[in-house]
Homo-oligomer: A and B are copies of this chain.
């Protein structure tokens, strides 16, 4: 798929039926007839029989220049699984694996059961399901030799703030599954893991969420569990800026991208002890709207030169927004994070944080400089700790009859 707006293709027709069906159900039969006439008068054919309004029917195309799940408007639930390949898996086996996975991913995202689906009834509501595959260094090495890997496909440099755990780091093959329905994600994850079972073992799983579909207005920037508006300065899918930031044009990776997945533990209890002004200074944005401290609306451009009456910067030097800001235009990334909030172990009160996800064509050139500045000085480091880190090459999409990874393996 390529930039499937939530309203494109079958999704659009489903959405329209949803809204019409809903309106009819909501206002009764007499009004429904009126609506029907009104729509006809406006040149829009209304469905003869209003269908049931089901978000679950919405579909994101699987095939396309790019894989889905990157420029797709972020779904409510995301599961990330990293698989370590068995030692005997060679290029031919990888080809088989990616054909099977691509086939089942296509089926599941289009609302059909997997080829050997044990619970096909759980597959009928795709709810905008996307499956995105990523390759770690060992995958590429097995597929075509280490020379085929982009230079940035390796663990990130060590940062002083990192407290990385093996159980959330690395991996040979990444599956990102995302949909607006948690049962859809759970079922699809299970089906794909059954496909992969003979080829490797699960290294780590991370599950996250955003606001549910329909909770807030479309296009609202997400809030993390600190209550912060998170992701304001993201490039917008469909723009040339997005295309430049995200899509690679290099060899087998052309039409693909680079992916960073970092698990960021957030110490909510410690954050609690900070007052609102302190929180706003640490980020450089207001909590209420996400506006920079020099502005009034979320998307106002921060004024880093503005000074307080006594001469201090309004947006502090140590604030996250200033430190994360690229020094040159090439240092941009596209973030697509999920919150996590898990059952705490033993004495902990909470186990919460962010599955930080970013896509960028060149991890070394775009992500690393930003992370280095944050590592040096970012007040948010007081309350956040990276506990997992992984880098994957995301191959391009494929056409019907093809499979994800064919540009590397074919």
Contacts and interface: CB of A to CB of B under 8 A. Distances in A.
A119 B226 contact: yes
The size class of the interface chain A forms with chain B is: 35 or more
A76 B212 contact: yes
A341 interface: yes
Interface in A177-213: 180-184, 186-187, 190, 193-194, 197, 201-202, 205-207, 209-213
Contacts of A344: 202, 205
A190 B350 contact: yes
A399 interface: no
A303 interface: no
Interface string A76-104: 11000000000000000000000000000
B180 A121 contact: no
Contacts of A33: 38
Which of A37, A186, A206 has the largest number of chain B CB atoms within 10 A? A186
DSSP class of A's interface residues: helix, strand, loop or mixed? mixed
A77 B35 CA distance: 34
A266 to B, nearest CB: 11
Contact of A214 (B38, B53, B194): B53
Interface string A323-349: 000000000000000010111100101
Interface of A: 15-16, 18-20, 22-23, 25-28, 30-31, 33-35, 37-39, 41-44, 52-56, 76-77, 118-122, 125, 127, 180-184, 186-187, 190, 193-194, 197, 201-202, 205-207, 209-217, 223, 225-227, 268, 271-272, 287-288, 339, 341-344, 347, 349-350, 352
